[in-house]
A and B are shown apart, each in its own frame.
Chain A
Amino acid sequence: MDSTKKSSITESWRRFSRENELVYLFLRNRVAQLAAFIAIVSVGAAALANFIAPTNPYDIASIDIMDSLIPPAWSAEGESRFIIGTDDQGRDLFSAILYGTRLSLTVGLLSIGFASILGVTVGLMAGYFGGRFDAIVMRIADVQLSLPAILTALLIDGIARGILPQDKHDSLMIVVLTVAIGLSLWVNFARTVRASTFVERNKEYVQACQIMGMHPLRIMLVHILPNIMGPILVILTVDLAVAVLLEATLSFLGVGVPPNQPSLGTLIRIGTEYLFSGEWWIVIFPSGMLITMIISINILGDFLRDALNPRLR
């Protein structure tokens, strides 16, 4: 395998990609590549919604009720202004979907961030120290598990409604939603991290650190955490899909984001009301967007799970 200097970069990349399990498998998995592409495009489009979207669906002044329920541009009554039609209030559906995706992803990412920080911290400590702390934390996790995610989220939302006055509630809705979804998902992180930490902590490299008298915090962060990134990454991906799904579900149930800032779930709920009278586009396009996004995240999650878990191959 001798190589000239010219090709040494491509050669070393080739060697890297062959020796690095994850990169190697990714380069040979068209489906995962497509999923990654879609995920990146979705995130990109959502992040740049302000620039891409032809109209601002949150700006009530720009919406004309006369434009309501216009079908997609390619059908007979369609207008070129609205590529995929408008909803019942005359919002451009394309713009609404972009902004809705942004909202869905924001809530999803924030709540996953919240859940992972909480879950990883608790899981690391419980797995490393064991004993009473572990017992108590895991009992709490049991209680939490006895209340499925959607129930927890609904409950927290219900409490927020009870405590906060109506007007405040709407403006704080995103925060409430993030906390609600985050609190219902932290257990997944905590349990996985705890189990992995427990395995790592009994490995000899950790014992070597303990013998040296290293501070537990340093052992956990510098030594154990990098070794359990695999499972964390998998949960992160899988639970991002769950979080987006949860947000959509809550919005569909009408307890999610406020109606003047529609997320994908809200759009689908509105669309359902018009589905049976023939205005199919309002429900189809947001659903399509939501499903495509979640499927691609789930494909990536599956890919990571298989790639990082050699026992399944």
Chain B
Amino acid sequence: MLNFILRRLLQSVFVMLAVSLIAFSLFRFVGDPVAQMVGQETSIEDQENLRERLGLNDPLITQYGRFVGNLVQGEFGFSYRTRQPVSEMILNRMPATLELGLVSLLISLLVGIPAGIYTAIKRGGVLSNVLLISTLIGISVPTFVIGIFLIYLFGVELGWLPTFGRGQTVQIGWWQTSFLTWDGLKSLLLPAITLGIYQLTLTMRLVRAEMQDVLKTDFIKFATARGINYRSLYFNHAFRNTLVPVITIIGLQLGGIIAFSIVTESVFQWPGMGLLFLDSIRYVDIPVMSVYLVLIALMFVVINLFVDMLYFAIDPRVRLKSAHG
């Protein structure tokens, strides 16, 4: 097991190095960092001094090493646009995105998995068909259209829920949370649904397909022939066997949630990292872009490492194989 995790860790480090190389190239080669940092009136000499001070004349490999070193220490440099430290900007925005992502992930799993199991078991049933048709709509209607529609219906026509921003938040240390106020929770609802629907659909379709495959296997047929009751048959025998692929895809989906939070945040003016990233693209704010990139990749890598470890808990075959080498 240790061996396996070490190998995965090594792969993760490789992935992170690759991503940081992309981030570094972004930072170094897209536009001139010095020109971005100083005004028009700065003399060539001053610019050259700055260049020397920043180490931009060093060999590229040294620069890359320094870039990675800074990243590891959490020194992300300064934004071209606001001149603030990037770490501060991102830290300010992070709680909003994480809370939004967490809630929509919960929505997508808590609704998607049961619905997927149901449609796999009750094939051809009325409710199954209704659910299946709605998944088609779920993957086909763009996130932003769903958001606009929800805003129009619940915010404008019915006036029940706020249509933008986080509402009232509570500060715990540096973390601003929406979870502790009624207004915050209300504000969270529409964006979370908007973001969750697409993932929910994907989860449901995946669980359904995997369940259908497992239900066709010999061991399920054998368990049926042994008269095992249907509840145990479906949940203990069948569903458990779908977990490995389902968890894999859910790991991937988390990345999707972070990415689509950009869209949701833009529709709902949600002050998260996505909105920050979008602004940084509009204004070509390279430091923010590259740090965001690295952070997203890091999240993804950590999630996948976690997913790999979950395999051990689920599948004895993986456990055994790794014990032997």
Contact = CB atoms under 8 A, between A and B. Distances in A.
Contacts of A295: 136-137, 140-141
A291 B148 CA distance: 14
Given A146-B255, A151-B259, A312-B209, A283 B136 contact: no
Given A255-B281, A283-B148, A147 B296 contact: yes
A291 B258 contact: no
Contacts, number: 122
A302 interface: yes
A265 B144 CA distance: 9
A290 B145 contact: yes
A253 B140 contact: no
Interface string B136-161: 11011111110010001000100000
A155 B293 contact: yes
Contact of A162 (B11, B30, B262, B296): B30
A158 B278 CA distance: 9
A291 B141 contact: yes
Chain B: interface size category = 35 or more
Interface string A121-136: 0000000000000000
A272 B151 CA distance: 10
Contacts of B289: 155, 158
A154 B31 contact: no
A295 B144 CA distance: 16
Contacts of B144: 248-249, 252, 268
A142 B139 contact: no
A157 interface: yes
Given A241-B140, A249-B263, 16 more contacts: A140-B18, A146-B301, A147-B293, A147-B300, A151-B259, A155-B289, A157-B281, A252-B144, A252-B263, A253-B278, A255-B281, A276-B152, A287-B145, A287-B148, A291-B145, A295-B140
The 5 A-B residue pairs whose C-beta atoms are closest, nearest first, are A148-B259, A162-B30, A146-B300, A158-B281, A295-B140
Interface of B: 11, 14-15, 18-19, 26, 30-31, 136-137, 139-145, 148, 152, 156, 209, 212-213, 216, 252, 255-256, 258-260, 262-263, 266, 277-278, 280-282, 284, 286, 289, 293, 296-297, 300-301, 304
Interface of A: 139-140, 142-143, 145-151, 154-155, 157-159, 161-163, 241, 245, 248-249, 252-255, 265, 268, 272, 275-276, 283, 287, 290-291, 294-295, 298-299, 302, 311-312
